[in-house]
Amino acid sequence: MIDSKLNELLDRFEHGDTRALARLITLVENRAAEVSTVMERIYAKTGRAYIIGVTGAPGAGKSTLVNQFIVKYRAQGKIVAVLAIDPSSPFSGGAVLGDRIRMTDHYRDTGVYIRSLSTRGHHGGLSRAAREIVKLLDAFGYGVIIIETVGVGQTELSVMDLANTTVVVTVPEGGDGVQVMKAGLNEIADLFVVNKADRDGADRIKAELELNVHLRPSEGWRPPVLLTQASTGVGIDGLITAIKRHEEYRHEHRDPAREREQRAHEFAEVLTIEMEERTARALKNGATSAQAVMNEVRQGVLNPYSAARRIIEDRRAVAELLGQTDAAREAE
Amino acid sequence: MIDSKLNELLDRFEHGDTRALARLITLVENRAAEVSTVMERIYAKTGRAYIIGVTGAPGAGKSTLVNQFIVKYRAQGKIVAVLAIDPSSPFSGGAVLGDRIRMTDHYRDTGVYIRSLSTRGHHGGLSRAAREIVKLLDAFGYGVIIIETVGVGQTELSVMDLANTTVVVTVPEGGDGVQVMKAGLNEIADLFVVNKADRDGADRIKAELELNVHLRPSEGWRPPVLLTQASTGVGIDGLITAIKRHEEYRHEHRDPAREREQRAHEFAEVLTIEMEERTARALKNGATSAQAVMNEVRQGVLNPYSAARRIIEDRRAVAELLGQTDAAREAE
């Protein structure tokens, strides 16, 4: 993309054009070379949204719950964005028709933005993309951002790191409490919800989860366990209040040293990803200095590990792969 | 680790010491700096094992099936390794006691090696670790390597790229066929298994899966759908035969051009990961040339994207992060 076009897109984004937002999200999804420039430009405007993660097994009623969140936060006058990273979510198009029709309620509301992120074809890049899309939504001005993801799988779990409050949704059925523990969801939960609480066993799973919480070391936030029936709205107000309470708790327990470390951590991640992506793009575009080595690998006469070492120790090759500018080269 | 110790470990590995194998796998799991050296040393011995992927939802009976595979391949005189990447697998320690006891049958058999790889704490690194562990098992001499993983989640799915034959396990219950399609498992399957085939609905899901296969473009391998009852052994011989047939098909349809591209692809992956890991390690160890920028990020006065750009364009900083040797520097 030419700089002037990108600038125009960013201008439109800053003036609240949701189509510009959508295009920028697509750039992030496609891992375009412009992502870094986009992030530099919008970064100062991030940090204002409250980010809620909703996770749990397929069929737990996550999407219905998210639907209720939208209604409640809209009633509070907040504008809401949903990022659905879940193959079975109606938001991401994987659901039965009934669900999807229900969701279209919100499509007419300009205060609601819904975007799905496919889990396919994102080998390793999903959590990066999710983080940057959340930044875009945040900078755009959404007050509440809800990330919905199925609570299985490493990447899907790591996406929850982005949330300020993580809600783990369970149902009374067959050993769901045990599944939650197994999948490590209990470790990331700030709040537990037992949805479909009119069914048998709701109290039992609630007790199980509470016992688990009780067995934790006593300092810090203790995740409450709430009963809801998302489809009828029972328990939703209590859930919204509990989220608010967690938000306040976080605010009261702000730890500047920890925040500095989080920033350093994010930087390390951005730096390594940026190096990786620049290198991958340069190789794809036929970086000349790596060709000889790459051909040996292709023929099977050089193993990829020795090849990588050879490239990394060749400063000229690295400079080309990372796209270091001539200015930087001359300054050397 | 000192070079001489690593060398001794590699010598023991090459002499068939499974404890050395276990230690090398641990190095890979921990993303130790030595991984690259280990891979360079063992790489020439890889490429001989046949790698079978077994995936499907929790409760589909994957582990029981893997158990049957072990028995059958052992009876053929092959030595077998299992890499379990599945929080609910008895191999990885997440299962009910009954399952686990059954698995201990094999612990006395030196021709069987079982290792689990935790999905936790591996943000982004799981598929790399899995690939390298498979290489170690391969180089060690295991003739059959079975990778077991729960078929949900991006990373878990991508691990199946390592398999020569991917077996997708389903059960007759509630819409499991639909779940398979949703999760994209149908796209990676070389063979479908409907396990617990004595239950109602086995024929229906078989027909569903066969229809799905039938609707594919007609060239290439067509995944058969097999009925099994892993717990009693029904259908296992047919399954082993089907895997053999797929192996032969792959052999007959070898495509040297495609193999060259796979090698180039693996090289690109190894190179970018190696750059990323060297950088992450250098930052962790307090790389001096990045400190000033990192402090600005910590204080919140510089955004991580601009910071990353600054580091990447600084050749001295990059040289330090990548640990480029003095020799390489002097050659410049």
Q: Give A77→chain B minimum CA distance, Å.
A: 30
- The pLDDT assigned to B105 comes to 61
- What is the mean predicted confidence (pLDDT) over A205-214? 90
- The pLDDT assigned to A159 comes to 84
- The pLDDT assigned to B241 comes to 98
Chain A touched by B153 (CB under 8 Å): yes
pLDDT band at A98 (very low <50, low <70, confident <90, very high): very low
Chain B touched by A222 (CB under 8 Å): no
- The pLDDT assigned to A206 comes to 93
Chain A touched by B154 (CB under 8 Å): yes
Considering CB atoms only, which of A40, A308, A329 is closest to B267? A308
- The pLDDT assigned to B175 comes to 64
Whole-angstrom Cα distance, residue B185 to residue B179?
Answer: 9
Whole-angstrom Cα distance, residue B54 to residue B60?
Answer: 11
- The pLDDT assigned to B97 comes to 36
Residue range B10-69, pLDDT digits in tens = 999 999 999 999 999 999 988 899 999 999 999 999 999 999 999 987 778 898 999 999
Higher pLDDT, A56 or A12: A12
- The pLDDT assigned to A324 comes to 86
Residue from A171, A267, A285 to probe the interface with B (highest B Cβ count within 10 Å) = A267
Q: What are φ and ψ of residue B123, in 5° steps?
A: -40, 100
The 10 Å CB-count burial string (b at 16+, else e) for B280-307 is bebbeeebebbeebbebbbeeebbbbbb
- The pLDDT assigned to B125 comes to 72
Share of chain A above pLDDT 90, in %: 59
The answer to whether the CB atoms of B308 and A183 lie below 8 A apart is no
Which CATH superfamily groups domain A46-254? P-loop containing nucleotide triphosphate hydrolases (3.40.50.300)
The residue extents of the domains of chain A are 1-44, 46-254, 257-331
Q: Give B52→chain A minimum CA distance, Å.
A: 20
Considering CB atoms only, which of A267, A276, A298 is closest to B263? A298
| Chain A residues near residue B256 by CB distance under 8 angstroms | none
Q: Please give the interface size between A and B, counted as residue pairs whose CB atoms are below 8 Å apart.
A: 216
- What is the mean predicted confidence (pLDDT) over B310-318? 93
For residue A46, is pLDDT > 60? yes
- The pLDDT assigned to A331 comes to 46
Residue range B95-107, pLDDT digits in tens = 333 344 445 566 6
- The pLDDT assigned to B296 comes to 95
Residue from A289, A303, A326, A332 to probe the interface with B (highest B Cβ count within 10 Å) = A303
- What is the mean predicted confidence (pLDDT) over A9-21? 95
Q: How many Å from the N-terminal Cα to the C-terminal Cα in chain A?
A: 30
- The pLDDT assigned to B86 comes to 63
Considering CB atoms only, which of B43, B284, B324 is closest to A303? B43
Residue from B39, B97, B267 to probe the interface with A (highest A Cβ count within 10 Å) = B267
Residue range B58-92, pLDDT digits in tens = 778 898 999 999 999 999 999 999 998 865 555 55
| Chain B residues near residue A58 by CB distance under 8 angstroms | 179
Higher pLDDT, A101 or B53: B53
| Chain A residues near residue B267 by CB distance under 8 angstroms | 294, 297, 304, 307-308
For residue A104, is pLDDT > 60? no
* Structure tokens that stand for B59 in this block: 């409760």
The 10 Å CB-count burial string (b at 16+, else e) for A286-315 is ebebbeebbebbbeeebbbbbbbbbbbbbb
Higher pLDDT, A158 or B105: A158
- The pLDDT assigned to B153 comes to 67
- What's this model's pTM, rounded to 2 decimal places? 0.82
For residue A41, is pLDDT > 90? yes
Residue range A258-295, pLDDT digits in tens = 999 999 999 999 999 899 999 999 998 888 888 999 99
Chain B touched by A88 (CB under 8 Å): yes
- What is the mean predicted confidence (pLDDT) over B195-210? 92
* Structure tokens that stand for B273 in this block: 């990961």
The answer to whether the CB atoms of B294 and A267 lie below 8 A apart is yes
Which residues are bridge partners to A167 per DSSP?
Answer: A54, A191
Question: Residue B57, class by beta-carbon neighbours within 10 Å (0-12 exposed, 13-18 middle, 19+ buried)?
Answer: buried
pLDDT band at B183 (very low <50, low <70, confident <90, very high): low
Highest mean pLDDT among A94-98, A201-205, A208-212, A236-240: A236-240
The answer to whether the CB atoms of B58 and A179 lie below 8 A apart is yes
* Minimum Cα–Cα distance from A59: chain B residue: B179
Q: Which of A17-26, A314-323, B106-115, B246-255 shows the lowest per-residue confidence on average (mean pLDDT)?
A: B106-115
